[in-house]
């Protein structure tokens, strides 16, 4: 018999299985003290990771969350994205990728906690920072300040989300997984800049949030003056210096940036896991008890969700799970080991304050006491250049530069942030056997722009005011009458057209012909197009296509920023000098003809006559739609589209938008990246991919495909070559591992750690290919003193000749293998030397 009754305080369901007499009380009491978040009376050291639900397909969620759990996470964090949930005022969407309830329930099913960052301003490199564009047009509105219309809308959405969670019993106070909630996002400095109204708004936001009664604590990140009981938290690459605004609040790091986002035309950024681990260990040793990786899985900005301007469709973020949901090694594995080591110390860390001892000029020990006696210690070396040998508790420990060691029993080093035991996986985009049916094309008719579905006005209008962001594209067209007496018609010295734009990209057509294009950058959105134009005597049509590339997501009152062609637009070089067209009569057309017809969606694709692309390498005019069909590639590797042969545009599969593509090359400075990781991380010093397209591959979730006849539609603004568009599958190409023969013997480690005593690895090298892959060959193996990094290993002065045969015997043909690293396996190639084993193995789908 099962009896149900309600908890008086939190409406929590108490299920009592009477015949077993075991009460299963699902509700949790979540509060905090100065040391930690306290769940059901127990202080917790919590490791969290950001996974944003609309940045992957729902079919991927469970796998991502389970991988996160296996990576040692306790909590999944997500923002709530207002503009996907309320695309027009009062009309809500919680379907598909927007199914927030399903996402939180998936977290719950995996046995993890959730942190819901409702915002509703989220920043997040997301279109308009998460605000719906209609919000800008609410009369009298001003975003993120003490403004009634804004506060009314923000309160309504916040309550909508809180109520949705409550209805589904998803707060921990109801038995659900949500243990934390966030209001606003990094408002502190913005509020300060606004003065009293900023302060009033922040207070209002906190109190409004508290009144929703979630039964779990609220946080405000980067908000020094967060009012009680809201916890102010830290975001950044490091948070070791962060102190909450009241001594009774715990030290929480809501965004530990695992990498950085990219913009089209910019480099990509990597952040070495050694430094991420260092930052976490440093934060924890100084009293931090909650760390969230931003991002743990970055994912994809599908459709037109990328913020901007110019944020790429990929939001990979160099996260432990890559854009495609695959494990990124060694980032994932090394952090997993860090989490395991920290959890071994959890009881000591959350129950005592550290004793800090100096171990040298740049070396320290933080010692925490176990309640049952003994201690746990964290030893740090802040020196960025030299390793240090320190004596702690009468034992000598070697600390590599910029590294931290964890000793759960104050004697045994179970983890050092700079010593990476996890394997490295080299990922590749391999051809997927998906033949495209012959490409067909349909060109936008530039001559008929402005003929229908358009309006005219005098002067130049802001693009977003006109489009309301229903399309990236806005046509501005006008006509100019050139008298036959103009000298340039005789002397051939063509006049110059000048167009000043507030952003983001522009294409100029004169009498139906492309005259040129230009675009801004994230730093300098404004740009000027200037080019010679072929005008003729009589009427000339000037058609300017202004293209938005994501609305701003950050900046004071970004809702007021202009986009599009706001002038001046002028022709220079005429007999009368300059002709300013800015205040003349302009015809406006929102979007492309193909968009209006929904050419990208299966039911409407055939509303026009498509023509065969005649031959390979045939380049068509600018503004051309292409279509082809393909069957789903075999296997279950994640898929992508290689768009390297195209220029700029958008792409859809079976009517679902893969996102914007742009193959413009990265112009960053990659020469400053020397691969080192010591010292404070700076994205600009860690750029990769300069000289190559910032983004060439575009994620296609497998769940969007059917076995046969998938419709692929591409809208190309420039003049790309569709015949070379190809499906690719993301797979592990090779795996490397590098293990020293010496490993600490931790078998006798006596510690109190939430009841679990763990054995740490012996000196073993482990290799594992991707799902359904096998090790097909050993590219490199050397036990001795090998040199180099993965992909570039070479033999050192000492090398055991048995290395290859042993690795081949143990590994080839297997999905994974492990080999003990020691003289008794390989023979001793050089006694009295500390040896290591470095291996690179090739992975493939055939054994």
Report, as residue numbers or ranges, the catalytic residues.
186, 255
Binding mask 191-230 for ligand GAL (x = CB under 6 A): ----------------------------------------
- The residues near 62 (Cβ < 8 Å, ≥ 6 apart) are 106, 109, 110
Q: Find the shortest distance in angstroms from Cβ 122 to ligand GAL.
A: 6
Residue number with CB closer to ligand GAL (185 or 515):
185
- Residue 107: φ, ψ to 5°: -65, -45
Distance of CA 647 to the CA centre of its chain: 24
Which SS3 state, helix, strand or coil, does residue 602 take? coil
Q: Find the shortest distance in angstroms from Cβ 325 to ligand GAL.
A: 19
- The residues near 90 (Cβ < 8 Å, ≥ 6 apart) are none
State yes or no: residue 185 binds ligand GAL (CB under 6 A): yes
- Could you give the residue ranges of the DSSP H alpha helices within 475-598? 488-491, 593-596
Alpha-carbon distance values, 219 to 93, 181, 433, 485 (Å): 26, 6, 49, 71
Among the residue ranges 117-125, 534-542, 761-769, 790-798, the one whose residues contact ligand GAL (CB under 6 A): 117-125
State yes or no: residue 312 binds ligand GAL (CB under 6 A): no
Binding mask 131-170 for ligand GAL (x = CB under 6 A): ----------------------------------------
Q: Find the shortest distance in angstroms from Cβ 345 to ligand GAL.
A: 29
Among the residue ranges 8-16, 122-130, 272-280, 555-563, the one whose residues contact ligand GAL (CB under 6 A): 122-130
Residue number with CB closer to ligand GAL (125 or 270):
125
State yes or no: residue 235 binds ligand GAL (CB under 6 A): yes
Residue number with CB closer to ligand GAL (120 or 408):
120
Q: What does the alpha-carbon distance between residue 684 and residue 689 come to, in Å, rounded to a whole number?
A: 13
Closest residue to bound ligand GAL by CB: 123
Among the residue ranges 119-127, 361-369, 535-543, 599-607, the one whose residues contact ligand GAL (CB under 6 A): 119-127
State yes or no: residue 318 binds ligand GAL (CB under 6 A): no
Torsion angle in degrees (nearest 10) through CA of 55, 57, 62, 66: -40
- The residues near 363 (Cβ < 8 Å, ≥ 6 apart) are 379, 380, 381, 382, 383, 388, 390, 399
Closest CA to 260 of 314, 302, 332: 314
Q: Find the shortest distance in angstroms from Cβ 204 to ligand GAL.
A: 20
State yes or no: residue 124 binds ligand GAL (CB under 6 A): yes
Chosen residue from 68, 123, 639, 781 binding ligand GAL by CB under 6 A: 123
Chosen residue from 146, 186, 716, 768 binding ligand GAL by CB under 6 A: 186
Are 204 and 197 a contacting pair, CB within 8 Å?
no
Residue number with CB closer to ligand GAL (555 or 813):
555
- What residues numbered 250-279 form the site for ligand GAL, per CB under 6 A? 255, 261
- Residue 564: φ, ψ to 5°: 95, -170
Residue number with CB closer to ligand GAL (110 or 123):
123
Among the residue ranges 52-60, 118-126, 512-520, 680-688, the one whose residues contact ligand GAL (CB under 6 A): 118-126
Residue number with CB closer to ligand GAL (275 or 738):
275
- Could you give the residue ranges of the DSSP H alpha helices within 345-452? 346-351
Closest CA to 578 of 488, 497, 510, 477: 497
Q: What does the alpha-carbon distance between residue 51 and residue 38 come to, in Å, rounded to a whole number?
A: 23
Q: What does the alpha-carbon distance between residue 238 and residue 242 come to, in Å, rounded to a whole number?
A: 9
Q: Find the shortest distance in angstroms from Cβ 295 to ligand GAL.
A: 8
State yes or no: residue 566 binds ligand GAL (CB under 6 A): no
Are 341 and 408 a contacting pair, CB within 8 Å?
yes
Structure tokens that stand for 627 in this block: 């279509």
Closest CA to 217 of 246, 187, 256: 246
State yes or no: residue 125 binds ligand GAL (CB under 6 A): yes
Residue number with CB closer to ligand GAL (123 or 544):
123
Are 420 and 274 a contacting pair, CB within 8 Å?
yes
Number of residues that bind ligand GAL (CB under 6 A): 9
Residue number with CB closer to ligand GAL (125 or 502):
125
State yes or no: residue 546 binds ligand GAL (CB under 6 A): no
**Residue in this structure with the two tokens 């100096």, named with its chain if needed:** 358
Structure tokens that stand for 376 in this block: 């746990």
Residue 400 has a CB neighbour count (10 Å cut-off) of 18
Q: What does the alpha-carbon distance between residue 88 and residue 325 come to, in Å, rounded to a whole number?
A: 31
Q: Find the shortest distance in angstroms from Cβ 235 to ligand GAL.
A: 5
Q: What does the alpha-carbon distance between residue 109 and residue 446 come to, in Å, rounded to a whole number?
A: 53
Q: Find the shortest distance in angstroms from Cβ 791 to ligand GAL.
A: 28
Among the residue ranges 120-128, 460-468, 632-640, 687-695, the one whose residues contact ligand GAL (CB under 6 A): 120-128
Q: What does the alpha-carbon distance between residue 360 and residue 387 come to, in Å, rounded to a whole number?
A: 11
The CA radius of gyration of the chain, in Å to the nearest whole number, is 30
Residue number with CB closer to ligand GAL (233 or 380):
233
Q: Find the shortest distance in angstroms from Cβ 15 to ligand GAL.
A: 38
Beta-bridged to residue 767, according to DSSP, are 817
Residue number with CB closer to ligand GAL (255 or 275):
255
Q: Find the shortest distance in angstroms from Cβ 264 to ligand GAL.
A: 16
Residue number with CB closer to ligand GAL (154 or 344):
154
Residue number with CB closer to ligand GAL (68 or 220):
220
Are 669 and 683 a contacting pair, CB within 8 Å?
no
Structure tokens that stand for 191 in this block: 């509020």
State yes or no: residue 242 binds ligand GAL (CB under 6 A): no
Q: Find the shortest distance in angstroms from Cβ 261 to ligand GAL.
A: 5
State yes or no: residue 233 binds ligand GAL (CB under 6 A): no
Beta-bridged to residue 715, according to DSSP, are 625, 650
Among the residue ranges 121-129, 332-340, 569-577, 795-803, the one whose residues contact ligand GAL (CB under 6 A): 121-129
Residue 300 has a CB neighbour count (10 Å cut-off) of 27
Q: What does the alpha-carbon distance between residue 317 and residue 314 come to, in Å, rounded to a whole number?
A: 8
Closest CA to 656 of 706, 607, 622: 706
Q: Find the shortest distance in angstroms from Cβ 471 to ligand GAL.
A: 25
Residue number with CB closer to ligand GAL (283 or 588):
283
Which SS3 state, helix, strand or coil, does residue 354 take? coil
Are 458 and 492 a contacting pair, CB within 8 Å?
no
State yes or no: residue 502 binds ligand GAL (CB under 6 A): no
Determine which helix (DSSP H) or strand (DSSP E) holds 283, and give its type and residue range.
Answer: helix 273-285
Distance of CA 288 to the CA centre of its chain: 24
- Residue 531: φ, ψ to 5°: -160, 155
Q: Find the shortest distance in angstroms from Cβ 552 to ligand GAL.
A: 12
Q: Find the shortest distance in angstroms from Cβ 239 to ligand GAL.
A: 13
Interface contacts to ligand GAL, rule CB under 6 A: 122-125, 185-186, 235, 255, 261
């Amino acid at each position: 018999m099962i009896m149900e009754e309600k908890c008086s305080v939190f409406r929590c369901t108490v299920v009592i299985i009477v015949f077993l007499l075991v009460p299963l009380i699902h509700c949790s009491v979540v509060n905090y003290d100065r040391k930690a978040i306290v769940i059901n009376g127990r202080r917790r050291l919590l490791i969290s990771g950001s996974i944003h639900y609309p940045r992957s397909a729902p079919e991927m969620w469970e796998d991502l969350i389970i991988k996160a759990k296996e990576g040692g996470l306790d909590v999944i964090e997500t923002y709530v994205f207002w503009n996907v949930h309320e695309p027009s005022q009062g009309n809500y969407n919680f379907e598909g990728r927007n199914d927030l309830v399903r996402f939180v329930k998936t977290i719950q099913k995996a046995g993890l906690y959730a942190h819901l960052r409702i915002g509703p301003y989220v920043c997040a490199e997301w279109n308009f920072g998460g605000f719906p564009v209609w919000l800008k047009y609410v009369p009298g509105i001003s975003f993120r300040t003490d403004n009634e219309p804004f506060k009314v809308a923000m309160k309504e959405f916040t309550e909508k989300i809180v109520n949705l969670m409550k209805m589904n019993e998803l707060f921990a106070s109801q038995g659900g997984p949500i243990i934390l909630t966030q209001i606003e996002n990094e408002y502190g400095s913005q509020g300060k800049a606004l003065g009293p109204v900023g302060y009033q708004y922040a207070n209002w936001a906190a109190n409004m949030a508290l009144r929703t009664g979630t039964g779990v604590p609220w946080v405000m990140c980067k908000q020094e003056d967060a009012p009680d009981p809201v916890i102010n938290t830290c975001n950044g690459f490091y948070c070791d210096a962060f102190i909450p605004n009241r001594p009774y609040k715990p030290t929480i790091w809501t965004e530990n940036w695992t990498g950085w986002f990219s913009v089209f035309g910019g480099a990509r950024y990597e952040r070495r896991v050694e430094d991420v681990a260092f930052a976490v260990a440093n934060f924890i040793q100084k009293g931090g008890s909650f760390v969230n990786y931003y991002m743990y899985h970055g994912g994809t900005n599908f459709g037109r969700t990328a913020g901007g301007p110019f944020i790429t469709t990929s939001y990979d973020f160099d996260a432990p799970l890559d854009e495609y949901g695959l494990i990124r090694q060694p980032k994932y594995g090394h952090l997993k080991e860090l989490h395991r080591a920290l959890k071994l110390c959890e009881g000591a860390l959350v129950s005592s304050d550290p004793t800090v001892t100096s171990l040298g000029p740049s070396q320290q020990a933080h010692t925490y006491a176990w309640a049952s006696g003994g201690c746990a210690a964290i030893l740090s070396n802040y020196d960025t250049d030299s390793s240090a040998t320190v004596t702690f508790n009468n034992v000598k420990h070697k600390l590599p530069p910029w590294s931290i060691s964890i000793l759960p029993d104050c004697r045994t080093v179970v983890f050092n942030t700079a010593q990476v035991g996890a394997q490295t996986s080299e990922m590749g985009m391999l051809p997927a056997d998906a033949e495209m049916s012959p490409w067909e094309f349909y060109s936008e008719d530039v001559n008929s722009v402005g003929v229908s579905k358009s309006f005219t006005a005098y002067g130049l209008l802001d693009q977003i005011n006109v489009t309301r962001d229903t399309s990236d594209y806005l046509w501005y067209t006008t006509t100019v009458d050139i008298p036959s007496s103009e000298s340039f018609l005789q002397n051939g010295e063509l006049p110059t057209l000048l167009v000043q734009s507030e952003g983001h990209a522009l294409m100029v057509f004169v009498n139906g012909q492309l005259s040129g294009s230009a675009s801004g950058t994230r730093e300098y959105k404004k740009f000027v197009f200037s080019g010679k134009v072929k005008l003729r005597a009589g009427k000339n049509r000037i058609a300017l296509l202004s293209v938005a590339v994501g609305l701003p997501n950050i900046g004071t009152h970004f809702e007021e920023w202009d986009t599009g062609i706001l002038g001046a637009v002028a022709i220079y070089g005429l007999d009368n000098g300059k002709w300013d067209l800015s205040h003349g009569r302009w015809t406006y057309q929102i979007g492309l003809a193909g968009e209006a017809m929904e050419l990208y969606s299966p039911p409407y694709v055939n509303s026009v006559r498509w023509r065969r692309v005649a031959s390979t390498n045939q380049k068509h005019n600018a503004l051309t739609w292409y279509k082809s069909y393909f069957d789903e590639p075999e296997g279950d590797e994640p898929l992508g589209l290689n768009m390297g042969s195209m220029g700029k545009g958008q792409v859809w599969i079976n009517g679902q938008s893969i996102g914007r593509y742009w193959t413009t090359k990265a112009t960053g400075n990659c020469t400053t990246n020397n691969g080192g990781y010591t010292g404070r991380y700076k994205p600009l010093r860690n750029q990769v991919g300069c000289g190559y397209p910032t983004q060439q591959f575009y994620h296609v979730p497998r769940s969007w495909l059917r076995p046969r006849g998938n419709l692929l539609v591409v809208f190309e603004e420039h003049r790309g070559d569709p015949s070379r568009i190809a499906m690719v599958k993301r797979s592990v190409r090779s795996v490397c591992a590098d293990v020293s023969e010496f490993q600490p013997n931790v078998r006798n480690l006596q510690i109190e750690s939430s009841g679990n005593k763990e054995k740490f690895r012996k000196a073993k090298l482990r290799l594992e290919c991707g799902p359904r892959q096998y090790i097909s060959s050993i590219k490199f193996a050397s036990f001795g003193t090998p040199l180099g990094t993965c992909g570039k290993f070479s033999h050192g002065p000492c090398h055991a000749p048995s290395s290859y045969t042993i690795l081949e015997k143990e590994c080839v043909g297997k999905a994974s293998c492990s080999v003990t690293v020691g003289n008794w396996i390989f023979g001793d190639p050089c006694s009295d030397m500390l040896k290591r084993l470095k291996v690179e193995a090739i992975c493939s789908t055939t054994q």
